[in-house]
Amino acid sequence: MRQTMEEQPWTADCHRLMAEFNEVAVMAFRQEFGQDESTSVMEMTVHPMEEHIQLNVGPRATFLVDGETGLVFKIGSGGRVRYEKCIGQVSGVTGRELYRWLWW
């Protein structure tokens, strides 16, 4: 049975990560490219799926929050979950950490 985003226990953590990530990423983007450029390529958005939640960063990256465990993984450029790139459990990960993982 599909859970709605509100029923999933990690929803609040995903929104916290999004806010923390965007604070760091948008500031860095503005320093690099100025105030006139659109930040949409660097802003994280939350997308609930049937068995997990995806945290998308424009066209740059996607992180997956596993529905069973709450573990956060980076999705590779081929669209596959990079299990060796487990970042941690969603409640213990920060947006700043996810920003650093963009470059790994």
48-100 tens-digit pLDDT: 988 899 999 988 789 999 998 999 999 987 888 888 889 999 999 999 999 99
More confident residue, 30 or 20: 20
- How does residue 28 score in pLDDT terms, banded at 50, 70 and 90? confident
* C-alpha torsion sign, points 35, 39, 44, 46: positive
SS (H, E, C) the chain: CCCCHHHCCCHHHHHHHHHHHHHHHHHHHHHHHCCCCCHHHCCEEEEECCCEEEEEECCCEEEEEECCCCEEEEECCCCCEEEEEEEEEHHHCCHHHHHHHCCC
- How does residue 18 score in pLDDT terms, banded at 50, 70 and 90? very high
Tell me what pLDDT residue 37 has. Answer: 75
